[in-house]
Structure 1
Amino acid sequence: MTPERFSALVAAYGGSPQRWPENERAAALDFIAAYPTQAEVALAPAAELDDLLSRHRVAAPDGAHARRIIATAPSALWRRTRLIWQCAGLAGIGLAGALAGVLTVAVLLSLNSAPDDGDAYALTAFGDMQGDVQ
């Protein structure tokens, strides 16, 4: 094991060999035995951090906090449901617009009858425009 790998192992898993991965634990312990001074440089700060973390305790939430969370849950659910309905409404408006466009084109095309001369342009919505044609 290299000194860099040992330092990375201690930084990632702490100073306690029980927390180190099993496949690297033996090599790390051999490194400690072979290079105690270098190992101590990496292990000392890790041991301090391990001690600090082991003494830290998180207080249990009080009953008022739990009641506030429960009290706001239905309103959060209502906001989410309302947002879903708003999105569905916008999708419905978009579909209605697309359907209106399709129906408009279909009606305009059906009003034009097929010309006798077989002109396909006359079958479009622009076929009956007289404009600049002479």
Structure 2
Amino acid sequence: MNKSMNADRFQALIDAYGASPARWPEAERRAALDFLAGDPAAQARVDQARALDDMLDCVTAVDHLRAELDQPAFEAAINRYAAEFSLANNVVRFPSPAPSRAPRRRMPWSVVWGTGIGLAACLAGAVLGVNLSLAGLSDVRAQTVLEQVAMIDTGE
């Protein structure tokens, strides 16, 4: 073990630079690697730091340019909604939600069927009435034709 590296300094080194020796300062890297090779507790500390490094590597970087472009829209939304909040006794009270509408009442099926049957009866009556009136007109026409023929035959 190197006498210039101790457990506290090694812990500070991995806390500051992580588990990868490539990130450690060049001046202390050799001493830290020697300390790591000779101390099993140091290996456990590096394993913990490596787990943290792996989690941090999964975090995506913030796109600062996009954040700056979205800032005016964000501030406008904050200003628009800030007027709806009220401050009372250092407690922010959010506006109460709009009252919900009463559920729509569904029309009972008997009304639907009754209306449909009534409309069908009206339509059938109209069709029957038109047919009967046309039949009556044809009788009137036939009577008129017969009368005209009779008038021609008699010479009137």
Give the alignment's TM-score, normalised by structure 2. Answer: 0.38
Larger radius of gyration: 2
- Give the structure, 1 or 2, with the largest relative contact order (CA under 8 Å, sep 6 or more): 1
Give the alignment's TM-score, normalised by structure 1. Answer: 0.44
